[in-house]
Structure 1
């Protein structure tokens, strides 16, 4: 897998995670509104489901890992943690 494919796949996984999370929240609000209009007792606010869907967090994690692997060399070089050659010491002239 080349660099461009890895970046695109990472971004697709992150965007898919956000889309799943948004659809899940939207369905929660629709369900809450349906309970509110059809019954006299209903919860005051919809329950947030931050950890309700495993695929949301799994796709987010896969996307972040793919992007990290892709840009690992650039991140290490930026932070000077990568494979930096040690400076050669000058040898004394005989």
Structure 2
């Protein structure tokens, strides 16, 4: 079962030659951590699901960013991120089967 841990809105994008596309984002809800799995949602449709490549506040690498703060993030193997996209962080939770 998947549990949504955070919702992030893309406010700006930056193309960096060696890294790819960096998204400047605002954490709308929850906390995003470095090892969070993410999915990119555009117009209500999931565009991509994958792993975070990097997570930064200003120029510092950080482990987590809380609600109301902005951050820069890069998603592994995905560069088609656009302003207005929603990035949803989730974790997979094991649910015990009931008999």
Higher helix proportion, which one?
1
On whether the aligned pair clears a TM of 0.5, the verdict is no
TM-score, length basis structure 2: 0.21
TM-score, length basis structure 1: 0.21
Higher strand proportion, which one?
2
Larger Rg, first or second structure (1 or 2) = 1
